[in-house]
Structure 1
Amino acid sequence: MNPTSTPPRAGNPFVVLAVIASATLMIVLDASIINIALPRAQASLGLSDTARPWVITAYALSFGGLLLLGGRLGDRFGHRRMFLLGLAGFALASGLGGVAASGTTLILARALQGVFGAILAPAALALLTTTFTSPEDRARAFAVYGAVQGLGGAVGLLLGGVLTEYLGWRWCLYINLPIALIVALVALRTLPPSLERTRAKLDLLGALLSVTGLAAVVYGLTVAGEGGAETHPALASATILTGVALLALFLLRQSRARNPLLPLSIPADRNRATAFLSMALIGAGMFGMLMFLAFYLQSVLAFSPLATGLAFLPFSVGIVLGSSLASKLMQRLGNSRTMWIGLLGAAVGMMWLVPVGAGPGFWTQVLPALCVMSFGLGVYFVPASSSALTGVRDEESGVASALVNVTQQVGGSIGPALLNTIFLMATAATPGIGLQTPEGYRAAFGAAAVLFLVALIVVLVLPRRASRRTAA
């Protein structure tokens, strides 16, 4: 829409805000709710240990890999239309996952959730921007939007425990159906139509290269976890190298495309590159840790799904508390120093979690580790997001904002597969009972700690030191 156009009329703006917040909550919930349900789902569907991480990875991979394309689709075909399409597709994919009779169907459903989530999320954000035009109203609306995103993970973990405990793991997917139906009925009456659309070409080949490249890397890690690193090393290596080559072709295409999904000028700045790379590493370690910690609590410590959901609440609270401190630290120390202070705390918390045992160590080990780790992550995330957006041109701010989410999801698609491979290698001598013994969890948490430490090294080494406030 150009500056002289009349803004599209909408229904009550606060009803529109409720519609957008509810749709956003669905997307955020499904990034965390399945972690609690996965142990029961794996047992119910007979999912193999090597296929296990794909339930998490399929969602993160398709969501993160297609998020930039989803934003372009909204610009091209209208944000209202894409919002409704994404909402309907997300609901149908959730229903497919709920009725899944095999692990393959569940993984396919999770991938489809990610595809339609990648269409829904940017459309929701764009509609929020066009509905609330005054600075005061927009600030309030974005405060609600940010709160939903921040608290949605905690709600998902707790809700996943309640639903799995009392109704069964399938309701962690069915829950989206009534939410989507109500949101759709209200959205049809209240969401504003889009007046103008861009005619820029869609880089479908770029999107295909990025998603298939990531999928090949993750599949190669899966092959290695099945023993391919020893029995079929050529297959595991060739698949991973193929994925890396496809990702390299994606970057080459973006450097030459007239309308790239990812303008390479955004991550070319060293400070922004530091933020994006560290976020990908943290996403990999955090997503993998959350998956295995849910298994550890339920399989080793014999926690119920509800108790597991409650056990994760301090993690969410710690992130909120750390985030509240981050802005004060940034004013005094700058972005980079605040980032490495947060990452240092997060790495200490993750290392605290590594020597888990089979005994009742939740109160003395798991809980304090989660508190320290989450507080550090909260301190880190705020300056990392700020660094990722600092110095970006106005016309690229939307893409840069989306890239923050993309990098976390890309890391989140690789992390569970990587940690699962390490877990299976560590438990190769005890097939069938690896989930009930602590050895594999120690190895997986150790790998996550290494990822956190690498992120810390990146933040210490890479930033440009020109400015105290942005790079100090």
Structure 2
Amino acid sequence: MTTTGKAAPAPARAAGTPSGAILAVVCLAQFMVILDVAIVNLALDRMGESLAMGPAELQWVVNAYTIVFAGFLLLGGRTADLFGRKRMFLTGLTVFTVASLVGGFAPNAGTLIAARAVQGLGGAILAPTTLTVLVTTFTDPKQRGRAIGLWSAVAASAGAIGSLAGGVLTDLLSWRWVLFCNVPLGVLLFAGAAWALTESAPAAGARRRLDVTGAVTVTAGLATLVYGIVGVREHSFLSAPVLVPIGVGVLLLAVFLVVETRAAEPIMPPGFFRHRNVALANIIALVGGTAMVSMFFFLSLFLQQVLGYRPIEAGLAFLPLSIGIVAGSGVSTKLLPGTGPRLPLVAGGVVAAAGLLWLSRTPADATFLVDLLAPTVLIGLGIGIVMVPITAAATSGIPPAQAGLASGVISSTRQLGGAIGLATLVTAAVAHASHLAEAGRSPAVALAAGYDRGFLLAAVLIGVGTVVSLLTPGRPATPATAG
């Protein structure tokens, strides 16, 4: 364990600071980080035209952020426990904001990709710290449930809003503004966090000593694994550029598990996943992340490549989904304190799967009102309902001294699931579309059928997660205890 004393870390709230101010700070920070996962998607074509980037370089505008973000999430969450939540919040925010500014001014592809990688590092420090601050500030179960509900709604809707914002900024201003928009947000957040947050203190007798070997192996393992997985978009699954990094990543993660059983102060205590809620929540998040990231990707391409939407039109088409997420989170927040995680997890999974199954029947000549509006609202509702209990379960029963670790683990699981899912489902969708094109179908019909296959597979994965949800407790989750 990393703590030897009995005193719990100090709460994140400064004396006299309204809890609403802290909630606003952490929600806005999480919004900014998740926004950047999606906001560049609708700007990629303009980036390519401006900086003479081909498809191979453009994919690294997305992958550089994803790989570094996923690789450093666990380490980022643990540093918040060891070195102070406020300090690491401000550090991650500064790195993220400066990298956004540099990326916005990028004169060439190399600078842009490097800036996106550094953005990912800042996000990996900032994202788990926001959840750590939240769960250590709101200790009352009902208040925590409402806070996690709002945080989850903001995080889930940021992906859809990112698509809208990316389209609007790219069409009306320039692709550079999908990065510049983070700068005023970052400055505002820095001022708010400096005022609202107080520094956490380690438990009495604790030593701020990082498990260096564990940190290096888990970070390298996650980053290498994700690197191999995203390589499926360019190479076949059985090719060396894919299998070698995946194999190295798995080996490094195996070394990490061995190291953690022998380390005096492990970055992840061996008994961490003995918490039933935590283990099940991370399994569901892995499967759910696989489905949801793929859904956003396929829907964005369907709107633009099949239906011919402009970036701003495609962005606006995501609005009903965003509204559904907010509404679903509101429903789940009210249910969770009385029912526990099982009911909202199962209900949300069924609703999201139904929406994806509906979407998987979308024709190439679809219209938004007839074919897309209802299923996207259902998907949004399902996502919103599920996000709250997953986050609550993943952080319940965890000692405050491990809150950052729990936050980093659930965030890392979602990202790993997203990377695995996108690579796997894109491969399946492209193969199906290619088969139909070779059989003589028109390009639009073949593309639509390929994306529909992706929606169908995402629905199946949500179904798997829903079955796992039946194993979660049917009673309210308990808050973390001091330790």
- The Cα shift of 1:409 comes to 2.0
Secondary structure in 2 matching 1:421? helix
Residue in 2 that maps onto 1:457: 464
* Equivalence map 1:3-42=2 (5 Å): 20-42=26-48
For 2:349, the aligned partner's letter is L
Residue in 2 that maps onto 1:341: 347
Residue in 1 that maps onto 2:255: 249
Q: Distance in 1 between matches of 2:10 and 2:351?
A: 49
The answer on whether the counterparts of 2:141 and 2:337 sit within 8 Å (CA) in structure 1 is no
For 1:121, the aligned partner's letter is A
How big is each residue's C-alpha offset from its partner over 1:121-140, in whole Å with a ceiling of 9 and x where there is no partner? 34455566788899999899
The answer on whether the counterparts of 1:222 and 1:421 sit within 8 Å (CA) in structure 2 is no
Aligned: 1:439 with 2:446:
yes
Residue in 2 that maps onto 1:325: 331
* Distance change in 2, residues 1:353/1:250 (3 Å): farther
Moved more, 374-383 or 449-458: 449-458
The answer on whether the counterparts of 1:316 and 1:374 sit within 8 Å (CA) in structure 2 is yes
- The Cα shift of 1:374 comes to 1.9
How big is each residue's C-alpha offset from its partner over 1:379-432, in whole Å with a ceiling of 9 and x where there is no partner? 33333334434544555444334433222122223333333333444455879x
The answer on whether the counterparts of 1:323 and 1:379 sit within 8 Å (CA) in structure 2 is yes
- The Cα shift of 1:53 comes to 4.8
Q: Quick one: percent identity of the two aligned structures?
A: 37
Residue in 1 that maps onto 2:481: none
User: Given the alignment, which residue of 110, 114, 118 partners 1:108?
Assistant: 114
Residue in 2 that maps onto 1:239: 245
* Equivalence map 1:251-270=2 (5 Å): 251-270=257-276
Q: Distance in 2 between matches of 1:23 and 1:435?
A: 44
Secondary structure in 2 matching 1:261? coil
Aligned: 1:421 with 2:427:
yes
- The Cα shift of 1:336 comes to 3.2
The answer on whether the counterparts of 1:285 and 1:449 sit within 8 Å (CA) in structure 2 is no
TM-score (normalizing by structure 1): 0.81
* Equivalence map 1:191-230=2 (5 Å): 192=198, 199-229=207-237
Secondary structure in 1 matching 2:365? coil
- The Cα shift of 1:318 comes to 1.4
The answer on whether the counterparts of 1:427 and 1:439 sit within 8 Å (CA) in structure 2 is yes
Secondary structure in 2 matching 1:259? coil
- The Cα shift of 1:288 comes to 2.0
Q: Which sections of structure 2, spanning at least 5 residues, go unmatched? A: 478-483
- The Cα shift of 1:177 comes to 1.7
Residue in 1 that maps onto 2:80: 74
Q: Which sections of structure 1, spanning at least 5 residues, go unmatched? A: none
Moved more, 139-148 or 347-356: 139-148
The answer on whether the counterparts of 2:157 and 2:322 sit within 8 Å (CA) in structure 1 is yes
Q: Distance in 2 between matches of 1:15 and 1:69?
A: 27
User: Given the alignment, which residue of 169, 179, 191 partners 1:173?
Assistant: 179
Aligned: 1:303 with 2:309:
yes
Moved more, 288-297 or 130-139: 130-139
Residue in 1 that maps onto 2:480: none
Q: Distance in 1 between matches of 2:59 and 2:9?
A: 49
Residue in 2 that maps onto 1:84: 90
* Distance change in 2, residues 1:50/1:267 (3 Å): farther
How big is each residue's C-alpha offset from its partner over 1:252-275, in whole Å with a ceiling of 9 and x where there is no partner? 333433333333433345554332
The answer on whether the counterparts of 1:343 and 1:452 sit within 8 Å (CA) in structure 2 is no
The answer on whether the counterparts of 2:11 and 2:137 sit within 8 Å (CA) in structure 1 is no
Aligned residues: 466
Q: Distance in 2 between matches of 1:463 and 1:117?
A: 32
- Tell me how large the CA RMSD over aligned residues is: 4.1
TM-score (normalizing by structure 2): 0.79
- The Cα shift of 1:308 comes to 1.5
For 1:410, the aligned partner's letter is L
How big is each residue's C-alpha offset from its partner over 1:173-200, in whole Å with a ceiling of 9 and x where there is no partner? 0111223234445655675456669533
The answer on whether the counterparts of 2:433 and 2:446 sit within 8 Å (CA) in structure 1 is yes
How big is each residue's C-alpha offset from its partner over 1:64-83, in whole Å with a ceiling of 9 and x where there is no partner? 33233223323444434333
* Distance change in 2, residues 1:204/1:287 (3 Å): farther
* Distance change in 2, residues 1:394/1:299 (3 Å): same
The answer on whether the counterparts of 1:96 and 1:109 sit within 8 Å (CA) in structure 2 is yes
Q: Distance in 1 between matches of 2:442 and 2:175?
A: 19
Residue in 1 that maps onto 2:287: 281
Residue in 2 that maps onto 1:157: 163
The answer on whether the counterparts of 1:31 and 1:60 sit within 8 Å (CA) in structure 2 is yes
- The Cα shift of 1:94 comes to 0.9
* Distance change in 2, residues 1:438/1:52 (3 Å): farther
